[in-house]
Amino acid sequence: MGKQLEPEIVFLQAENAVLRAMVGRFERDKSDLEIALETAVEHGDAVESQLEEINRLMQDEISERRLAEKRLQKLLAILTQQKDDLELLLQTITEHSDQVDFEWLEKFDVAEQQARHDALTGVANRRHFDEYLAQQWKLSLRNQTPLAFILCDIDFFKLYNDHYGHPAGDGCLKEVAAALKRACHREVDLVARYGGEEFCVVMPDTNKLGAIEVAQRIQDEIHRIALPHAKSPSGTLTLSQGVVSWVPSSQHDANGLIQAADSLLYSAKQKGRNQFSF
> Going residue by residue through the chain (278 aa), what tens digit of pLDDT does each one get?
445 556 666 666 666 776 677 767 767 767 776 776 676 666 666 667 776 777 777 788 788 878 888 888 888 888 888 888 888 778 877 777 666 566 656 665 556 666 899 999 999 999 999 999 999 999 999 999 999 999 999 999 999 999 999 999 999 999 999 999 999 999 999 999 999 999 999 999 999 999 999 999 999 999 999 999 999 999 999 999 999 999 999 888 999 999 999 999 999 999 999 999 99
CATH class in words for 120-277: alpha beta
- Identify the burial level of 123 via C-beta atoms within 10 angstroms of its C-beta, where 0-12 means exposed, 13-18 middle and 19 or more buried: buried
Q: Using alpha carbons only, give the angle 278, 261, 254 rounded to the nearest 5 degrees.
A: 125
Q: Give the distance from CA 131 to its chain's centroid.
A: 23
Residues 6+ apart with CB under 8 A from 196: 157
Report the C-alpha gap between 227 and 233 in whole angstroms. Answer: 13
Report the C-alpha gap between 126 and 117 in whole angstroms. Answer: 8
Sequence ranges of the domains in the chain: 1-95, 120-277
Report the C-alpha gap between 116 and 108 in whole angstroms. Answer: 12
27 is catalytic: no
Marked catalytic residue, from 34, 64, 106, 197: 197
Q: Does the pTM of the predicted model rise above 0.85? A: no
Report the C-alpha gap between 190 and 34 in whole angstroms. Answer: 115
